Amino acid sequence: QVALARDEFEGLVKRFPDNEYSLKAREKIRQCLVYQAEYELYVGIFYYRTKRYKPALNRFTFLIENFPDTGQYREALEYIAKCKVKLAEAKK
């Protein structure tokens, strides 16, 4: 749902870049990105807490690659490091 909303707002900005509503649409795009990043972080933490470190690592990596400027970057990096430690321990 959030991705669809973001696509619609991005389409509005492309079609009418100088329109007064484009500024509001840009704000909404930012909110959508933050919401998506929060969701990825939430799911990644769930996987981490349930000791599913590989899927958690994938979620955190996806967040870093796709939502770098949303405020969850630092926490995702911390969890990436934790996941790597846990995965290395499991190999031993």
Mean pLDDT value of segment 17-27: 91
What distance in Å separates the CA atoms of residue 25 and residue 62, rounded to the nearest whole number?
25
* Residue 57 burial (CB count, 10 A): 21
Q: Could you report the per-residue pLDDT of 52-92, keeping only the tens digit for each?
A: 999 999 999 999 999 988 899 999 999 999 999 999 999 88
Q: How far is CA 85 from CA 21, 77, 79, 88, in A?
A: 47, 13, 10, 5
* H-helix segments, the chain: 2-15, 20-49, 53-66, 73-91
Please give the structure tokens belonging to residue 76.
Answer: 């995702």
Q: How confident is the model at residue 38 (pLDDT cuts 50, 70, 90)?
A: very high
